[in-house]
């Protein structure tokens, strides 16, 4: 077991010697190297997600449970009070649930866990850029959420009192912007979260605000105008407005406004990431 029994080569094999030409060679295919790093990071992250029961439960089963809950109690809660049918509210709310649970609530502990185990710090010493490291962590949750959204839209379209998306373009924009906003918000929230366990608590403020204000469990047009107006500018509401406009063609002239608001909140979340995110452990 002596160190001298084996002498693995310490020289780089035949490939380009490390010389002055290296920087130029590096730049030949930035997109491809980015993709390669992202897939390596995402693959590791997916393995971690699959091995973590509670994270997997939160990402896959929670949205389903919430939809089941609304299906059972929708009428009692008065979900159909307003312009939309109960099925329309549940169908679009389900997309919102996926964004909030499979993306936002799943990613906070992921970022906190990687930070506290000094994985982020370690990765930053390598070739991957900051954006690649942060994106790599998000990819598996985002992919799972996209699959769930596709299944929901497919199932919803087959439902007798719903139809296929009226404006698929708007629906896609809504879902994509929603994903991006939730990822950025999760990164920001992780900065204010000490441990993986406390992520359940730090996720609550945005989660509850989103549930209450975005028309997921109460239709906004049944509320007093001033309240509805305030709710419409809250972070998650423009995303849901776009989803509703895309699927149900509801919302009309407010679409531009919703789009601008969603972009503004996403940009703000991006700024907050730059301002508050930390790579070093808090413990």
- By the rule CB under 8 A, 159 interacts with another protein: no
> Taking contact as CB under 8 A, which single stretch among the options 44-52, 64-72, 87-95, 99-107 is the one that binds another protein?
44-52
- Of residues 124 and 257, the one with the C-beta less far from another protein: 124
> Taking contact as CB under 8 A, which single stretch among the options 45-53, 158-166, 201-209, 249-257 is the one that binds another protein?
45-53
Q: What secondary structure letter does DSSP report for 32?
A: H
Q: How many amino acids of this chain bind another protein (CB under 8 A)?
A: 46
Least Å distance between CB 234 and another protein?
Answer: 30
Q: How far apart are CA 247 and CA 88, in angstroms?
A: 9
Q: Which two tokens stand for residue 221?
A: 């047009």
User: What are the Cα distances from residue 190, in Å, to 16, 110, 197, 214?
Assistant: 41, 9, 11, 23
- Of residues 43 and 159, the one with the C-beta less far from another protein: 43
Q: How far apart are CA 175 and CA 38, in angstroms?
A: 22
CB 92 within 8 A of CB 166: no
- Other CB atoms within 10 Å distance of the CB of residue 152: 21
- Of residues 44 and 263, the one with the C-beta less far from another protein: 44
Sign of CA dihedral 9, 10, 16, 17: negative
Least Å distance between CB 23 and another protein?
Answer: 4
HSE of 184, CA atoms in CB hemisphere, 13 A: 22
- By the rule CB under 8 A, 1 interacts with another protein: yes
- Other CB atoms within 10 Å distance of the CB of residue 80: 16
Q: How far apart are CA 188 and CA 267, in angstroms?
A: 12
Q: How far apart are CA 235 and CA 265, in angstroms?
A: 6
- By the rule CB under 8 A, 187 interacts with another protein: no
Q: How far apart are CA 66 and CA 89, in angstroms?
A: 13
Residue from 83, 121, 192, 212 binding another protein (CB under 8 A): 121
- Of residues 10 and 256, the one with the C-beta less far from another protein: 10
Residue from 59, 125, 188, 270 binding another protein (CB under 8 A): 125
Residue from 75, 117, 197, 221 binding another protein (CB under 8 A): 117
> Taking contact as CB under 8 A, which single stretch among the options 36-44, 82-90, 204-212, 235-243 is the one that binds another protein?
36-44
Q: What secondary structure letter does DSSP report for 252?
A: G
Residue from 69, 154, 195, 278 binding another protein (CB under 8 A): 278
Residue count of the chain, please give it: 283
- By the rule CB under 8 A, 253 interacts with another protein: no
- By the rule CB under 8 A, 7 interacts with another protein: yes
Which positions touch another protein (CB under 8 A)? Answer: 1-4, 6-12, 15-16, 18, 22-23, 26-27, 33, 36-37, 39-41, 43-44, 47-48, 51-52, 113-114, 117-119, 121-129, 278, 280
């Amino acid at each position: 077991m002596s160190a001298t029994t084996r002498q693995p080569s310490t020289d780089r094999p035949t490939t380009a010697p490390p010389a002055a030409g290296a920087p130029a060679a590096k730049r030949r295919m930035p997109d491809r190297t980015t993709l390669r790093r992202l897939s390596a990071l995402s693959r590791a992250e997916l393995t971690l997600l699959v091995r973590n029961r509670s994270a997997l439960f939160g990402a896959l089963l929670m949205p389903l449970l919430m939809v089941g809950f609304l299906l059972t109690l929708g009428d009692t809660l008065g979900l159909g009070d307003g312009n939309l049918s109960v099925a329309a509210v549940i169908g679009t709310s389900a997309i919102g649930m996926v964004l909030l649970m499979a993306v936002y609530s799943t990613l906070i502990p992921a970022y906190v866990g990687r930070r506290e185990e000094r994985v982020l710090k370690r990765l930053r010493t390598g070739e991957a850029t900051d954006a690649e490291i942060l994106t790599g962590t998000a990819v598996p949750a985002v992919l799972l959420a996209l699959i769930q959204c596709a299944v929901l839209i497919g199932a919803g379209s087959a439902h007798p009192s719903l139809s296929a998306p009226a404006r698929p373009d708007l629906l896609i924009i809504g879902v994509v912007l929603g994903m991006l906003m939730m990822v950025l918000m999760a990164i920001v929230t992780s900065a204010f979260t000490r441990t993986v366990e406390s992520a359940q608590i730090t996720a609550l403020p945005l989660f509850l605000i989103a549930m209450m204000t975005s028309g997921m469990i109460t239709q906004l047009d049944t509320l007093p105008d001033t309240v509805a107006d305030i709710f419409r500018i809250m972070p998650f509401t423009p995303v849901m407005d776009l989803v509703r406009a895309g699927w149900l063609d509801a919302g009309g002239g407010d679409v531009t406004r919703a789009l601008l608001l969603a972009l503004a909140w996403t940009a703000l979340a991006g700024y907050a990431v730059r301002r508050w995110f930390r790579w070093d452990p808090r413990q």
